Homo-oligomer: A and B are copies of this chain.
Amino acid sequence: MKLWVSPRAPSPRRVLMFIAEKGIGDVELASVEIGRGEHRSAAYLARSPLGKVPVLELPDGRALGETRAICSYLEGRHPEPNLMGIGFEEHAFIEAADRRVEFYLLGTIANWIRHGHPGLAPLEQPQFPDFSAAQGRKLREVAGWLDGELQRQDWVAGKRFTIADITAFCALEFARGLMKFRPADEGFEALQAWRDRIAARPSAKAGA
């Protein structure tokens, strides 16, 4: 299998951290330089029609896109350790937790950065700085909600480490790297403590 990734981008990092947690060894990496527009080349669009990164080339030549769908495929191929749920009921609750942090944490952070950071102007034309600022405010509300969750439970989805922890961690790392966002600076101590625990896992270095 070959996984196309971009350096320092949060979505490829989610898949790389997922692979590291599972100890999957047969994934070859290939790089797409978004800053140089390589994701819009004809060769890349043939495997990812909307120019999105990451994309996974399967052994039979088919290309599978979309971060979470790639993780679903890898979980099916390498079931252990389980990161997405055992049985349909746990699967659904972990999917709900993962979607919450993906949409409301990562999605809000991505809007904040893509419309506000000069380094991401090549990706978002035009940028809307006022929209970015409003998303930055919304991020604090979402971080406050997640901080409350992590005061009551050890992990984002509840009782054990799952894909939802990977998604939330990569979201916060994106905000830390480009916006210097640090939960403890805003009073979110439980979120900071959880983040620091995840950062100590060997998988946290993947894609960093």
Contact = CB atoms under 8 A, between A and B. Distances in A.
Interface of A: 49-50, 64-66, 68-70, 72-73, 75-77, 87-89, 91-93, 95-96, 99-100, 104, 115, 126, 128, 130-131, 134, 142, 145, 149
A96 B65 CA distance: 6
A96 B75 contact: no
A75, A92, A142 interface centre (most CB from chain B within 10 Å): A92
A66 B130 contact: no
Tally of this chain's copies: 2
Given A49-B145, A131-B128, A69 B95 contact: yes
A145 B99 CA distance: 25
Given A69-B93, A73-B88, A88-B75, A50 B128 contact: no
